[in-house]
Amino acid sequence: MSKKETRRGEESRLTFLGRIASYFINTPQMTILTLLIMITLGSVSLFILPKESLPEIVFPTLTVQSLYPGASALDVEQLVTDPIEIKLSGLDDLEDMVSESSAGVSFITMTFLESVDIQKKELEVDSLLSEVVLPAGLDTPNASIFKTSELPLLTFSVTGGYSLATLTEIGEDIRSSIESIGAVDEVGISGGTSREIQVSLDWAKIYALDLTVDDVKNALQAQNISLPVGEEVIGDLTTSLSIDSRFETVEQIGETLIVGSKGQNVFLDEIAVIKDTTSDIKRLNRTYYLDNPKGSEISIYGTVLRKKGADVLATSAKVKALIANGKGTVYPPDVEVGIVYDNARNVSRDLSNIQVSAVSGLLVVVLVLFLFIGLKESFIVSITIPLSLMTAIGLLGNFGISLNTFAILGLIVSLGLLVDNSIIVMENMDRLSRMGYTPMRAALEGTNQVSMPILASTLTTVAAFLPLAILPGILGSFVNTIPRTIILALVSSLVISITVTPSIYALVMSRMKRRIYSSRRRRFNRIVGLGFVILISYAAFYDSEAAWWLPIAGMIFFTSLMIMKIFLLKDKSIDESKLVRRYELLLKSLLEKTWRQVLVLALGLFVLISSISLIPLGLLKVNFFPQNEPTSLTIKIDTPSGTTLEGTLEIVEQVESILESDSAIAVFNSNVGGQVADYAVIDATMSDKSGREVSGFEVVSRIDQSIRRIAGAEITVSGSAGGGPPVGKPVVIELNAQDYEAGRMLAQNYKNKLEQIPGVYNVQLSVTDGKPGIDIVVNAPKAVQYGLSVSAVASQVRNSLDGTIATTLKSGQELIDVRIVSRDSELEGSQKLQGLMIRTPQGASIPLSLVADFNYTQGLSSIRHDNTVRVIVLDADVLEGYNAGDITDEFMKSIENIEKPFGVDLKLSGDAEGIQDSFLNLFRSMIAAVLLVFLILAVQFKSIAQPFAILTTVPMALVGVFFGLVVTGNEFGFYAFFGLVSLVGIAVNDAIVLIDFMNQLRNEGKALIPSIIEAGKTRFNPVLATTMTTIGGVLPLSFREVYYAQFSYSLVFGLLITTVMTLILIPIVYHLIEKSKEKSKQSEKGVA
């Protein structure tokens, strides 16, 4: 037979993947071109992909905010929230609607089904809102879509020795400059005041002249006009004509002639004092920086939002550069503009931490490859990692994925998986090479033999991650970036293992001869190898902020493995080691006796049941999300209802002094007042971890302890780490009560019980007593006798107390409000309301008390609705080291003896609800993953029984996860469950390759037990290597990113157990299945 015929015969035996490998092996130029394309694609994407902490998500959520200044929470609920909710409650695809009505503000949140087109739904909601009848003076609200891109990019403060009005103008100038940056969407300014022309009426003169506020208002509006009146041909030109009598000076306003209903007239400056001043201050901002000797100062606060898709790091750098370079041009040189919060700092820190973990994982993978498959082989396989990562990064943008924390986390998880296929290909090529095959033939045959198993193992891994990539809910929107990134990396690694790996192997090995080194040279190589292992292992686990012993422990572990390799294996491969020979004897012993196999299966079942019992026994706690070390804190200050802005500020200053004395606090901003004057919020950022001696938990604890000594307000302190999916309070209890007051009393009792449970802090009720109110009840019949309607009385009272904007004054390009107000001195005292004069249509003045009664009431702080029904919410934070589930259980036991009034329903929310919903979704994903994997295996092996044998590794993965979490002191939470579902695809990979080789050997005519033993021996090294590389890729993440430790440990311990089970349990199950098949065939032959 000719060489051409032989080659044609060999090619006819190649799988389609084998043919692809053959093309690349015989065409090295294509391999080089492919490498260049992959590297270029990844490099360009690294440069252009947006860098951000969280993936960019548009939630199926709309918010509607309505401002009704001066209204109590009850008024806001009845006059604003209720009408809007009634109008919107019938919307299609509406899943949930919650609202909160507080003094002056109504805030409604609507959550729709994920399949809905939220942009169209926004238009539909806006259309319905325009039909809602709202109180006079309240603008029609609009719906807003919530997106992660609308989270603040950066906040800044403006301070200096100027008046608040001047600082506000400076802040506006800075705002305009920042908004000129293309990537900036908008800049909000708060804490300032605006220029305002106030017309303070002298009520004695007003009454004496029988004038009304409306007379003044109408006169100002009639005088201040700019109106086009037509066109006139003058000469050869058509000229437009207009009347322009707009106010441009305060004097012009004072010269306005006021004409009453009876013909009386007077100039405005004769009955009023007109001042060019500023609007009343209802909100104050104060900012503190660690290096500012002046302490906290009055400031203007700016919030910068970026456009969708804008790079956080680049946009933030442009904004900070503009602020730095704008001193003396954009704003005066004696004004300080400081950065209070910079999301780029968080993004940079998160990406840096994850990238360091990625590099560490890469180093560990290289170490494992060097220890298990040798230097040259590890070099070839290691090429797979950067190539796969660069290819995956190059594809991220095409799938709408930015370079965020979750995407990099996905790349870290895939680090160890990327080399699995190449390790199997490399091991098989190396095995054939030792059998005497040429490098070219070893590359082709070795790749062809394992091409279909590695395709199946890749597809099963992808199948396991696929349900996670379409995980529903808000959490799914955040974390699905992880599996999507892993899938891209896995597909890339499959392509590389079939094309690049065998091609480079053939290219390198064809040019290298196997040398026989002298004993001295071998000793030198071993010493160099030992030094390499020591250096790389120390570098892989070194972290300046981690425990000092960690890199030493890593170094000792890998150095020990290297020493064992040197002295135990010497120049032999692992296949020839005592470990493999003992494994061979163990398998032979187990396969000889059926009772031994049954005993092993029974033992495995017992271990499985024991691991599951860890949760009900309380040894393994269940929690929604792990507690991450806080880097910032929020302090909420709620002073007694009705406290003035000045009174609230006094409490705030006491809190600020505590923060200023704490060296761990780098910057804070105090927001005092707003819609209500008795409330303040302080947002503080800690200094970098390297710059403080204590953890973030300790900082929050000591500040909380210090603030508790402050009397006169209810103050809560909570820490935040930022990043991660949005989660609320860990302990949340909702009460739905038909009798609201009875529900409030019950909620207070529940609050007292919850406060007594250890580990609980910041216990709060959603509704407390608000500021006192006075209900002015207009006697309609009496009012009619004077020609007045209820609305006319209400309008006059509002205008008298809060004033009314009559018109505007034009100053350059700026329009300044002209507000009619009452002189403060004439409206003070206990008889303020009773003595308020109301004008009748006949021109008479009557006291308000003549047509109205006054009821003194106690207001509410806020009122919450859940799908239009009033609810009372009790929530709390949990201290580090305590479990929210345990606290909830203890709370439920403590209230067993408290009788609930009729019509009161209790619902557990918080972590309890999150665990129920999210774990159910993850369980569904796990079932879907198992079914997909089974389907792929059934097609691959053309069998139903063998896929069952492979899937026995899945329950064993659960054993590893549960026991691993207990050993490491972790809880079983969302990320642990996420890792467990991931193991469905990862854990079966080694079993696929093992059983496929058993089938190959049996097809070649070998008996059942020899085939199992031979396959176990041959695949022992690649099974260990692939497991160790996967573990090595994610292990550094366990120590560097505590927040993701659950996920990392789940993979590490799950893989450790499944590896043992693959090498022992799979051969036993395979033997029992195939032996049963043989007996069936023999019995069928006997019957025939």
- Annotate 947-1005 with DSSP letters as a single string: HHHHTTHHHHHHHHHHHHHHHTT--B-HHHHHHHHHHHHHTTHHHHHHHHHHHHHHHTT
pLDDT at site 609 = 92
pLDDT digits (tens, 9 = 90+) for 913-925: 777 777 888 888 8
Pair 57, 480: CB distance under 8 Å: no
Confidence (pLDDT) at 158: 92
Q: Which fold has domain 55-149?
A: Alpha-Beta Plaits (3.30.70)
- Rounded distance, CA 252 to CA 273, Å? 13
Mean pLDDT for the stretch of residues 89-95 = 89
Rounded Cα distance between 96 and 562, Å, is 59
What are the residue boundaries of the structural domains of the chain, listed by start? 55-149, 151-194+279-352, 201-225+249-277+772-860, 572-612+943-1088, 630-721
Distance CA 495, CA 429 (A): 17
Q: Does the pLDDT value for residue 730 go beyond 60?
A: yes
Mean pLDDT of 722-740: 76
β-pairing, 143-147 vs 904-909, is: unpaired
Beta bridge partners of 99: 108, 865
Structure tokens at 558: 């890998």
Question: How far apart (Å, rounded) are the C-alpha atoms in residues 77 and 871?
Answer: 13
Query: Is the pLDDT assigned to residue 5 strictly greater than 50?
Result: no
Whole-number pLDDT of residue 4: 45
Separation between Cα atoms, residue 351 and residue 239, nearest integer Å: 64
pLDDT: which is higher, 829 or 429: 429
Instruction: For residue 149, give the DSSP letter.
Output: G
Q: Tokens 């031994």: give the residue.
A: 596
Question: Three-class SS of residue 726?
Answer: coil
Task: Specify the range with the lowest mean pLDDT, choosing from 104-113, 253-262, 412-421, 944-953.
Answer: 412-421
- Is residue 995 within 8 A of residue 946, CB to CB? The reply is yes
Position 651 confidence tier, pLDDT thresholds 50, 70, 90 = very high
- Joined together, the tokens standing for residue 798 give 């509002």
Give residue 1's pLDDT band: very low, low, confident or very high (50, 70, 90): very low
Q: Is the pLDDT of residue 732 over 50?
A: yes
Count how many residues are written for the chain.
Answer: 1088
Name the CATH superfamily, with its identifier, for domain 151-194+279-352.
Answer: Multidrug efflux transporter AcrB pore domain like (3.30.70.1320)
Residue with tokens 């890199």: 551
Phi-psi region of 177 (alpha: psi -120 to 50; beta: other; left: phi over 0): alpha
Q: What does the H/E/C string look like for 1032-1085?
A: HHHHHHHHHCHHHHHHHHHHHHHHHHHHHHHHHHHHHHHHHHHHHHHHHHHHHH
In the numeric block, the tokens 């080694």 are attached to: 990
Q: Cβ–Cβ contacts within 10 Å for residue 1084, how many?
A: 9
Under a CB-based contact definition with an 8 Å cutoff, are residues 99 and 107 in contact? yes
What is the phi/psi pair of residue 199, to 5°?
A: -105, 100
Structure tokens at 69: 């200044």
Q: What is the pLDDT of residue 163?
A: 86
Count the Cβ atoms, other than its own, within 10 Å of residue 582.
10
Measured distance CA(275)–CA(263) in Å, rounded: 27
Pairing mode of beta strands 94-102, 105-112: antiparallel
Q: How many C-alpha atoms does 184 have within 13 Å on its Cβ side?
A: 23
Nearest to 752 by CA among 891, 907, 913, 899: 891
* pLDDT reported for residue 1041: 67
Query: What digits encode the pLDDT tens for the residues 329-344?
Result: 999 999 999 888 888 8
DSSP string for 349-369: HHHHHHHHHHHHHHHHHHHHH
* CATH class of the region 201-225+249-277+772-860: alpha beta
60/477 Cα distance (integer angstroms): 11
C-alpha–C-alpha distance, residues 1009 and 109, integer Å? 65
Asked which of 89-103, 493-507, 779-793 is least confident by mean pLDDT, the reply is 779-793
Amino acid in position 96:
D
Taking only the tens place, the pLDDT of each residue in 655-683 is: 999 999 888 898 999 999 887 788 899 99
**CB neighbour list of residue 869: distance below 8 Å, 6 or more residues apart:** 736
pLDDT in tens, 243-293: 888 888 888 888 888 887 677 788 988 888 888 888 778 888 999 988 777
d(CA 628, CA 281): 38
The CA distance from 971 to 599, in Å, is 32
3-state secondary structure (DSSP) of residue 52: coil
Q: Which of 429-438, 506-515, 663-672 tops mean pLDDT? A: 663-672
Output the pLDDT for position 181: 92
pLDDT at 912: 66
pLDDT at 9: 43
Q: Is the pLDDT of residue 831 over 60?
A: no
In whole angstroms, give the CA distance from residue 930 to residue 945. Answer: 15
- 995, two tokens: 């059983």
Q: What pLDDT, on a 0 to 100 scale, did the predictor assign at position 767?
A: 79
Most confident of the following: 351-365, 700-714, 1074-1088: 700-714
CB atoms within 10 A of CB 334: 10
Rounded to 5 degrees, what angle do the CA atoms 1069, 1071, 1073 make?
Answer: 70
**Residue (of 582, 580, 584) closest to 592 by Cα position:** 584
Rounded mean pLDDT of 614-642? 83
- Among the residue ranges 102-111, 407-416, 741-750, the one predicted with the least confidence is 407-416
Mean pLDDT of 6-35: 77
Residue 6 confidence class, pLDDT cut points 50, 70, 90: very low
Q: What is the mean pLDDT of the chain?
A: 82
Per DSSP, what are the bridge partners of residue 108? 64, 99
Domain 55-149 and domain 630-721, same fold? Reply is yes
pLDDT surpassing 90 at residue 387: no
H helices of 693-837, in order, are 696-707, 740-755, 780-785, 790-802
How much is the pLDDT for 373?
67
Q: Which of 152-156, 519-523, 937-941 has the lowest mean pLDDT?
A: 519-523
Distance from C-alpha of 212 to C-alpha of 260, rounded to nearest angstrom? 8
pLDDT at 109: 92
DSSP letters for 447-460: HHHHHHHHHHHHHH
Q: Which phi and psi angles does 691 have, rounded to 5°? A: -100, 5
Among 23-27, 340-344, 801-805, name the one with the lowest average pLDDT: 801-805
Residue that wins the pLDDT comparison between 130 and 689: 130
- Using DSSP's 3-state secondary structure scheme, residue 388 falls into helix
CA angle 722, 728, 733 (to 5 degrees): 160
- The Cα–Cα gap between 447 and 198 comes to 86
**pLDDT for the residue 826:** 46
pLDDT higher than 50, residue 172: yes
Residue 81 scores a pLDDT above 90: yes
Stated as kind and residue range, the H or E segment containing 603 is helix 594-612
CA 172 to CA 178: how far, in whole Å? 10
Using alpha carbons only, how large is the chain's radius of gyration in Å? 37
Say how far apart CA 377 and CA 442 lie, in whole Å. 14
Rounded average pLDDT over 891-898: 87
The structure's pTM equals 0.77
Q: Which CATH architecture has domain 572-612+943-1088?
A: Up-down Bundle (1.20)
The CA distance from 152 to 566, in Å, is: 56
Say whether pLDDT at 458 is over 70.
yes
**Distance set, CA 200 to CA 225, 270, 815 (Å):** 22, 11, 20
Indicate whether 835 pLDDT > 70.
no
Residue-wise pLDDT tens digits, 1001-1050: 888 888 888 888 888 888 887 788 778 777 877 777 777 666 778 888 88
Domain 630-721: homologous superfamily in CATH: Multidrug efflux transporter AcrB pore domain (3.30.70.1430)
Q: Is the pLDDT of residue 689 over 80?
A: no
pLDDT at res. 264: 77
Our CA angle for 12, 512, 391, nearest 5°, is 65
**Residue bearing the bigger pLDDT, 171 or 571:** 171
CB atoms within 10 A of CB 786: 17
Measured between alpha carbons, how far is 723 from 685 in angstroms, rounded to an integer?
Answer: 14
Report how far residue 788's alpha carbon sits from residue 782's, in angstroms, rounded to the nearest whole number. Answer: 9
Burial 161-188 (b: 16+ CB within 10 A, else e): ebebbbbbbbbbbbbebbeebebbbebe
Phi, psi of 316, rounded to the nearest 5 degrees: -60, -40
1052 vs 963: CA distance, rounded Å? 11
Q: In Å, how far are 72, 75, 376, 805 from 141, measured between CA atoms? A: 18, 17, 68, 20
Nearest to 247 by CA among 768, 817, 650: 817
Query: Does 52 have pLDDT greater than 90?
Result: no
